[in-house]
Amino acid sequence: MLTDTIRLLLFPALMAFAASSDLLTMTISNRISLALTGAFFLLTLVTGMSLAAIGMHLAAGALVLVVCFGFFSQGWIGGGDAKLASATALWFGFDFLLDYLIYASLFGGVLTLVLIQFRKLPLPGPLARQPWILRLHDAGGGIPYGIALAAAALAVYPKTGWMPAIGI
């Protein structure tokens, strides 16, 4: 019962927290990525995942980390985004990695287009007093890509082996 609750709630809750954190502060705490990684390993122990399967999940996470580190070094993504994508890839392994990356790309493109349009509009008075909205509205500001990464993760998660194991 406890394992099912963890599988059902922990990953989605951490993803929602990552998205909201990135929206409001333009940062994703290392604690979120560490919590995702720790929860993954805890569930592998509880569910009895084979060492070969764990190795493949680790390889997927490492591959995404290396690629994202390259993106980070070029200034294309933030460090929090790189770590979040890698921790998420750890959960999905290679079986669902392509789905995750495609969703993240599509959601990220839509998010970017929406923010470009939003930044062209004048802000109403009450909104102009909110620091997080001003940060989003700044034409020179970044894109809180953690929102797209989290949305992609939540779109893919129900298809994974973590959810069917509890009968959903």
Calpha distance 70→25 (Å, rounded): 24
Give the tens place of pLDDT for each residue, 12-29.
999 999 999 999 999 999
H-state helical runs in the chain: 2-25, 30-47, 51-73, 79-120, 125-128, 131-137, 146-156
Calpha distance 45→62 (Å, rounded): 20
Calpha distance 83→32 (Å, rounded): 9
Give the tens place of pLDDT for each residue, 58-75.
999 999 999 999 999 999
Calpha distance 117→4 (Å, rounded): 41
HSE-up of residue 38 (Cα within 13 Å, Cβ side): 8
Q: What is the mean pLDDT of the chain?
A: 93
* pLDDT tens-digit profile, the chain (168 residues): 677 777 888 999 999 999 999 999 999 999 999 999 999 999 999 889 999 999 999 999 999 999 999 999 999 999 999 999 999 999 999 999 999 999 999 999 999 999 999 999 999 888 888 899 999 999 888 999 999 999 999 999 999 988 765 555
Domain count for the chain, please give it.
Answer: 1
Q: Domain range spanning residue 98?
A: 2-166
pTM: 0.92
